[in-house]
Amino acid sequence: MLQAIIDFSLRNRFLVLLGTLALVLAGVYAVRTIPLDAIPDLSDTQVIIYTEWSGQAPQIIQDQVTYPISTKMLSVPHAKVVRGYSFYGFSFVYVIFDDGTDPYWARSRVLEYLSALGGQLPAGVAPTLGPDATGVGWAFMYTLHSKDRSLAELRSMQDWYLKYQLSSVDGVAEVASVGGFVKQYQVSVDPLKLRAYGLSLSDVAETVKASNGEVGGRSVEMAEKEFIIRVRGYVNDVADLRKVALGVNKNGTPILLGEVANVQLGPDMRRGIAESNGEGETVGGIVVARYGANARQVIQDVKARLDQAMKGLPPDVGYTIAYDRSALIERAVETLEGKLVEESLVVAVVCLLFLLHFRSALVAIIILPIAVLTALAVMNAQGISSNIMSLGGIAIAIGAMVDAVIIMIENAHKHLEREGGKRPHWDIIRDASIEVGPTLFYSLLVITVSFIPVFTLQAQEGRLFKPLAFTKTYSMAAAALLSITLAPVLMGYFIRGRILPEARNPVNRLLIWLYHPVIDFVIRFRWAVIVAAGVLVAWVFLPWNALVVSRLPDGPLREATTSMSPLFPFQNLGSEFMPPLNEGDLLYMPTTFPGISPTKAREVLQQTDRIIKTFPEVENVFGKVGRAETATDPAPFDMIETTIRLKDERDWPAVDIHDDAGRVIAEPVAIAVGAIDRAMERVAARLGDRVDIGASGTGYGHVVVGQADIQGFDGLHGHRLALGGHDDRRGVRRDAAVSAGGWRRG
């Protein structure tokens, strides 16, 4: 069958070229439209149920809200885990679904079961679903600033203008507000006056509620014109509220609300505070990207819409970007794209050196990008984003993708050397392709199916490595298909003219001179070579510690065998679940004592932000204590999150990263992180705690600076700069962490 495909391709060259053009156009379209992200989304399919019940204690929330919802969600199809959390005034229930469950199908099932709760929840309590986003949906954050506006005014602009403007951007699941003050009417009742007038607190509450509304009536015809009757009763200011009549006294005089209560404007109770650069409180917005959206495109559209929306606000109101993931995405993807181009150029150079025929090398050079574009087209159709893992699969496959084509070209050269001019050119190309084409096709298929075990991975490891396996498989499959369709056609067009025999190629002659003696030796002493190879494999993979060291008693013999452990390589290799990735931003996450007051939390937040901002490597500091107004943020008030945006390393001051012997002891990033650590240690000392600082990671070597043990940072993948301390007076543990800014709760 493969011989028939090769013969069909050579007889229908126009159709093959036309099909190739279609593949190229599909690949170009995929390059322009494929979603871009830094890493694959490792989040489980989950639905968040958020329920607010203002003023209620966590135990009441747990008993009357969280527990009924959690027990009901246990019967949702394909739900594997249900987690409930109860806080003061609100409840979170997380429903985690099996891998592969469609998120929108999961949301519809959760809504269906929520509707069946009926009267099991308290009156007035209405559960809502969180945004259709994942745990890494926090893609963009900004802050508002103005010298002439109060925090309440800025919060109103965020809630009633910017929030709706940005929510309309395609791909945005939610825009959450944080910080500032939510304006509300506050009625402080005097109980003595209520008693004097014979009123109760419930009378006041019901009357105020009933007085804020509007009633429609019929129409009245006057002077040949119809007038619609309505009663306008909405409260527009404090004066309107003070004039609300609660009843009448003995003389028939109305009792006004202002006579029994103090009515004023004030802030709502808040569970989140935002701060910027240590300069004071601010108002922020968090843009949550929708599940499966192109994060980079969403961020670009949000920034464009934000610039446009700011024109509708007063001139003194501006905004500052607090976090922008697009920079990470662009750096990660550009790095992989650059390496792909470099690999392609190396392959082209190698083809030219070994073939010494430019037009023959063009066959491999042309097929390589076409195979890559074909793989990208399939990726786009399947919904796989372009990230470091999916592009890494293509990078792994590039070397093997052109093997078959190069062998076919060399075989065509041999045939032309023997039969050139004696037979028609296309017949020679056909015989050369059919001779080795099927064998090479099957060899590429063997490489293609080698990644099948990766597809059996489940959960996070599957979501991480399957994109790599998919793209590697697609690339090799595309190369195999092109090797029996397009390659023979291009060989017929390009392999013409004077072809240098292999024996006259200086590169080939040198390599033949080198490897012939080696081959003669291993064939002559084949059993010795096999035994040596077996010994080498056993030495590399021998678990010396598990087989020998662990079985010996303590003593000189055990110490001697332990000293030999470094001689066995495999057991000394480290392991890493995710590849190292320096995002360029930090997320400083300390936790305070439970029950800290908002005033003290704000003070600690501002102090830490002010100190962090003093470092020349820091561009912007955005601190948040408590939670934002979103179901994706269940942070309590004793949890601080400070997003630190670092400047480009080219703008950092020069630092000495060498020891006395001239060895590099740390990268500049580790030096900057260590300096921030020591500053945070001084802050903790002011708060009365002794803090020991340590950091772990794989990206930046190892350096000891004072009490700080810095091993780099890679917080996007779980390596966190940990702050831990113990208060000897109270015996209470304090913990904090610094990590890259890409991690978000889900």
Both 356 and 494 in one domain: the answer is: yes
Q: What pLDDT does 69 receive?
A: 93
Provide mean pLDDT across the span 580-596.
80
Q: Which of 227-231, 488-492, 534-538 has the highest mean pLDDT?
A: 534-538
Instruction: Report how many domains make up the chain.
Output: 5
Do the domain assignments include residue 504?
Answer: no
| Of the candidates 722, 720, 712, the residue with the CA atom closest to the CA atom of residue 740 | 720
Question: Is there a domain that residue 482 lies in?
Answer: yes
Residues 367 and 493 in one domain: yes
Q: Does residue 64 form part of some domain?
A: yes
User: Is the four-CA dihedral 343, 347, 348, 352 of positive or negative sign?
Assistant: positive
Report yes or no on 430 lying in a domain.
yes
How much is the pLDDT for 679? 57
In a domain, 179, yes or no: no
CATH number at residue 410: 1.20.1640.10
Same structural domain, 30 and 49: no
Do residues 13 and 55 share a domain? no
pLDDT attached to residue 129? 92
Distances from the Cα of 419 to the Cαs of 7, 436, 569, in angstroms? Answer: 19, 17, 53
The span from the CA of 189 to the CA of 241, in Å, is 13
- The band of 724, judged by pLDDT with boundaries at 50, 70 and 90, is very low
Is 312 a member of any domain? Answer: no
Residue 194 has pLDDT above 60, yes or no: yes
The answer to whether the beta carbons of residues 121 and 68 sit under 8 Å apart is yes
- 390 within a domain of the structure (yes/no): yes
Verify that 398 and 492 share a domain, yes or no.
yes
- pLDDT of 736 over the 80 cut: no
486 and 350 within one domain: yes
Separation between Cα atoms, residue 204 and residue 247, nearest integer Å: 10
Report the alpha-carbon distance of residue 587 to residue 739 in Å, rounded.
5
pLDDT at 729: 29
Q: Are residues 565 and 618 in the same domain?
A: no
pLDDT for the residue numbered 663: 59
Could you count the other beta carbons within 10 Å of the beta carbon of residue 14? 8
Q: Are residues 14 and 99 in the same domain?
A: no
Cβ–Cβ < 8 Å for 43, 743: no
Same domain, 705 and 631: yes
pTM, 2 dp: 0.75
* 590 in the same domain as 709: yes
464/99 Cα distance (integer angstroms): 13
Whether 274 is covered by a domain: the verdict is no
**For residue 248, what is the domain's CATH number?**
3.30.2090.10
Mean pLDDT in residue range 320-327: 89
How many angstroms separate the Cα of 103 from the Cα of each of 49, 79, 81, 100? 14, 12, 15, 9
pLDDT at 136: 80
Q: Which domain holds residue 361?
A: 2-38+329-459+467-499
CATH number for the domain including 614? 3.30.70.1430
618 and 636, same domain (yes or no):
yes
Contact assessment for residue 142 and residue 306, using Cβ atoms and an 8 Å cutoff = yes
Question: What is the mean pLDDT of the segment spanning 718-724?
Answer: 30
Mean pLDDT of 440-446: 78
> Distance between CA atoms of 131 and 108, rounded to whole angstroms?
13
DSSP assignment letter at 714 = B
pLDDT tens by residue, 197-211:
888 888 888 888 888
Q: What's the rounded mean pLDDT across residues 638-662?
A: 76
User: Residue 308: pLDDT above 90?
Assistant: yes
CA distances from 661 to 392, 665, 710, 712 (A): 38, 10, 20, 21
pLDDT greater than 70 at residue 258: yes
Shared-domain flag, residues 355 and 473: yes
